[in-house]
Amino acid sequence: MSTSTQPSPVSSPPSPSASPSPPAPAAAASQSSFVAQLCFGAIAEDLIVPYPKMKAGDQETFKQIRSSIEQLLKSKEKNLREWDAKGEFPPEFIEELRQFGLFSLVIPEAHGGMQLSTTAYSRTLQELAKYDGSVAVTIGAHSSIGMRGLLLFGTDEQKQRYLPKLVTGEMIAAFCLTEPSSGSDAASILSTAVRDGDDWVLNGDKLWITNGGIAQFFTVFAKTGQQGERSNVTAFIVTRDMTGVTTGPHEDKMGLRASSTTTVTFDNVRVPAANVLGEVGKGFKVAMKILNSGRTGLGGGAVGAMKRCIELCTKQAKERVQFGKPIAEFGLIKQKIGHMVVDCYATESAVNMVNHLIDNGAEEYAVEAAITKVFGSEALWRCADEALQIAGGNGFMKDFPYEKIVRDARINRIYEGTNEILRLFISLTAMNEVGSELKELSNSLKGIFDNPIKGFGVISEYARRRASLATSVVKREKSQFTRLHPAVQSQQMVFQELTRDLATAVDRVLRKHGKAIIGKQFASRRLADMMIDLFTLACTLSRVSTAVAEKGAASVTKELEILEVFTGQVKRRVRSNLSKIDENDDELIKSIADHALDAEAYSWDNVT
């Protein structure tokens, strides 16, 4: 292992600069989320316009962090490849991460941490991911999910006891939810904790735990109710020094190979009652809050990796000469790079916006955070794949960084909620308020003949809204942007039109399926994809509009071009999903899948 220069640990954040930051969009804590309002055809522009900026104090702190990260990692490119091949970081490197203060990013200043805002923290993970995915996930698993529950739900006594060790990295944290028999279905965990006097006796096995082999602090979830009570889960703080805590060997993974991933076993571990995190029986809520809070960190990491891909492949395209000229001059190469830039800009726009919503006190952001994870992880996968393609044969060789980026990127669509599960979460959660209104309408109709005036009022209000979705003649409340720059008017008009399409689609699907929508995954996915595209487009619209207002259209021509391209992509995708709500091949696809499942094979061959 090569030794670095004397470390320059990141210091605690300086006092905020006296110069005020530009006004940012408000995020009222009690307001419905942006996407939930879109499902009604309403555009809550006060949540996203103008586009937020990182605060001056955060920028100053981040610049120090970025300098330290560069000092630590820039010279270690060869080491990082070697550690990836070997499948683990050496203890000396983990110690360097401690010395550079990278385990203290989100811990409050009162406990010796940097207390980064969500925006600055996400930007830090982005910077780490530009150098190495395994480093980013090691820091992210500690701060985003491993100890996040302590920050969100811990008692003062728990924080006083553990944060001083977590801030230095003396204790590294891990999040223990997944089990051999429960992945996406977190409520089906089999680990148990039984009260015995002043302790809980914990038993169970956890699988694929990031930081498992190097952690001393575990946030663990176990059943505390009777057998069969799926939702009765409790969160516990468990430390490695408790008798009965063991970890398995390092997992041999496809990507993120140097990060520690192991099983964690709890065999009659006596956990003091004082180590319950949150309320007994409310562990599922704790887990979901932790995961929702941590997803923008994953989005930040995706942005960092995309920026690295763009840096690598543009240099490669300019240097690689074929048919007498650099391949950068060929249209199909430019097409790839152009789409990579559009994907990166759109992802970054959404990630920054959700970070701001969280920093500004919004309570309803889970759907939007899930969107950044889904869109960002899939955009990164496209970007990494195209970067490797541009590199050609070199991209397939381990001497170059492309194949490692592709391997590292693949897990992003799986962990912290698979993209399939998150799509169902996005659509069903965002549609909940619309479904509630339909239910209220149904309840009101029960007494329509007893109270016809009341019944007429309910029906006429809903009829007015439905009519407004079907025609532009009826004015809809908050159906238009009013604060965007005229330079983005054409894209604004498209967004408003697509918002009406989404609201119409939600109404149609809920009326068609009712409560059965829970099992209609094809329909839910289409609605989720529409929501994902529209939220990301809204963030991009806001960002470009704000840039034009501040710098002038002549100074942001490329950003306007990005917006125009992305708007066209979103329009085509939304319209395609809308067209398939009623006319599709869903049943045929399921029939073909059932045939393959029955046979457990592909059934055709040209050899009889």
Active-site amino acid positions: 416
**353 close to 376: Cβ distance less than 8 angstroms:** no
For tokens 């029906």, name the residue.
459
**105 close to 117: Cβ distance less than 8 angstroms:** no
Cα separation values, 275 from 272, 294, 598, Å: 5, 22, 48
Which residues are within 8 A (CB) of 180 and not within 5 positions of it... i.e. 6 or more apart? Answer: 205, 207
CA distance 165 to 168: 6
Q: What is the 3-state secondary structure (H, E, C) of 484-522?
A: CCHHHHHHHHHHHHHHHHHHHHHHHHHHHHHHHHHHCHH
- Going 285 to 289 to 292 to 294, the CA torsion angle's sign is negative
Q: What is the 3-state secondary structure (H, E, C) of 107-142?
A: CCHHHCCCCCCHHHHHHHHHHHHHHCHHHHHHHHHH
CA distance 258 to 34: 38
Which residues are within 8 A (CB) of 490 and not within 5 positions of it... i.e. 6 or more apart? Answer: 564
Structure tokens at 220: 């663990």
Residue 88: name the closest of 208, 215, 207, 259 by CA: 259
Residue 175: name the closest of 327, 9, 65, 297 by CA: 297
Q: Looking at the chain, how many residues does it have?
A: 608
Phi, psi of 200 (to 5 degrees): -115, 135
CA distance 120 to 355: 9
Bridge partners of 234, per DSSP, are 222
For tokens 């977590």, name the residue.
166
Phi, psi of 449 (to 5 degrees): -80, -25
CA distance 255 to 402: 12
Q: How many CA atoms lie within 13 A of 233 on its CB side?
A: 22
The DSSP-derived string for 164-202 is HHHHHTSS-EEEE--BTTBSS-GGG---EEEEETTEEEE
Bridge partners of 222, per DSSP, are 234
- Going 498 to 504 to 507 to 511, the CA torsion angle's sign is negative
Bridge partners of 219, per DSSP, are 175, 237
Structure tokens at 559: 């950003």
CA distance 24 to 45: 12
CA distance 364 to 587: 35
Structure tokens at 506: 């939600």
CA distance 605 to 376: 39
Bridge partners of 247, per DSSP, are 264
Cα separation values, 520 from 53, 92, 375, 455, Å: 40, 51, 22, 31
